[in-house]
Amino acid sequence: MFNSTGSFFVLGGYLPFGHLNYLYFTILAMIYTSIVVSNTCVIVVICMNRSLHEPMYLFLCSLFVNELYGSTALFPFLLIQVLSDVHTVPRSLCFLQVFCIHTYGNIEICNLAVMSYDRYVAICCPLQYNRRMTTLRALVFITVVWLYCFVRVLITVALNLRLTLCGNFIDKVRCANYPIVKLACSDTTVNNIYGLFGTVLSVVLPLFPMLFSYLRIFKVCFSGSKQTRQKALSTCSPQLVSLVNFSFGCFFEIVQNRFEMRAVPKTLKIFLSLYILIIQPILNPLLFGLQMSKIRKSCKHLFTHKNKVTCHIHLKK
């Protein structure tokens, strides 16, 4: 029996890589590097440009910081496991990864909900926007979202830590909450009740402001002029694409946790289990960075200015 004081978990979701482990390691390292560079680049652009110190861009900055947070909770761990022949993980590190990845998911959807409300006020109540959505209020929203998600997931992990486990085998490539709960041979009633309650708080509750905001925005789009419609859709389309992509990732995760999926190839199962932590952090900086003209212009100005300064210094020398 593997009780709650056991020191490690075994991850059984990995394929026998053989000599290809270095290739997979290189691919994953390149993906992680691209995520870090792209998200950091947009964060730096927003922080350094005072004209971008507006609520919408502060929410974007929070989103990109969360992408770095979520991907960092996965990739360093994944890179070590790919090079390892024995896929074991210390119990404390496993619970830490569960905490980080679950807070990432909670922050992501709450952040998207706040961003949808921000766009609703900007498009449907433009004359009241500067009064209703100030920079200070945006910072308060961001702080509340992060603190709320950290506390909510901390309770989930605390409830799991008290369980007596009768196994240490997790059929995944990373630690996850539900597979750990399935290993319990003690009463999980409190965990299940809080899990259901937490799902309502983390998923259903943010959906209300999103549905309200986008329904009102679409109403303005279809009743307004062509110019108004184009402006509203161009502003909201990155958020909608990001939300749909994130929803797909959540759906894949829920289906894998709740059903055996024995007919699905193992390679596809691995990809689906990592989808939300790979595609979302890659997609968001591309979506918002390329779609929003102010970010594009600021990014271009920042790097061209740096190049001019560097050239000027070299010429002086």
- Quote the pTM value: 0.88
What pLDDT band is residue 313 in, cutting at 50, 70 and 90? Answer: very low
| Contact predicate 112/243, CB 8 Å | yes
The pLDDT of 296-302, averaged and rounded, is 64
Question: Is the pLDDT assigned to residue 238 strictly greater than 50?
Answer: yes
Question: Is the pLDDT assigned to residue 312 strictly greater than 50?
Answer: no
Strand-pairing partners, residue 90, are: 8
Alpha-carbon dihedral angle through residues 93, 95, 101, 102, given to the nearest 10 degrees = -170
Instruction: Tell me the C-alpha to C-alpha distance, in Å, between residue 220 and each of 59, 109, 113, 240, 286.
Output: 23, 24, 19, 16, 27
3-state secondary structure of 165: strand
3-state secondary structure of 84: coil
Report how far residue 256's alpha carbon sits from residue 269's, in angstroms, rounded to the nearest whole number. 8
pLDDT in tens, 158-170: 999 988 888 889 8
The answer for 89, left when phi > 0, alpha when psi is -120 to 50, beta otherwise, is beta
pLDDT in tens, 120-137: 998 888 888 888 999 999
User: Where do the domains of the chain lie, and which CATH numbers do they carry?
Assistant: 8-248+276-309 (1.20.1070.10)
The pLDDT of 44-71, averaged and rounded, is 90
| Contact predicate 89/12, CB 8 Å | no
pLDDT in tens, 176-218: 888 899 898 888 899 889 988 888 888 888 888 898 988 888 8
The pLDDT of 134-144, averaged and rounded, is 94
| Better-scored residue on pLDDT, 30 or 266 | 30
Give every strand in the sheet of 169-170, ordered side by side. Answer: 88-90, 8-11, 169-170
Structure tokens at 138: 């945006």
Question: Is the pLDDT assigned to residue 147 strictly greater than 90?
Answer: yes
Report how far residue 171's alpha carbon sits from residue 36's, in angstroms, rounded to the nearest whole number. 28
The pLDDT of 310-317, averaged and rounded, is 44
Looking at the chain, the whole-number percentage of residues with pLDDT higher than 90 is: 37
Report how far residue 231's alpha carbon sits from residue 50's, in angstroms, rounded to the nearest whole number. 23
| Contact predicate 113/74, CB 8 Å | no
Structure tokens at 282: 């890659």
Structure tokens at 163: 């369980």
pLDDT value of position 5: 47
pLDDT value of position 302: 60
pLDDT value of position 309: 42
Question: How high does pLDDT run on average in the chain?
Answer: 84
Taken as a whole, the chain contains a residue count of: 317
Report how far residue 314's alpha carbon sits from residue 317's, in angstroms, rounded to the nearest whole number. 5
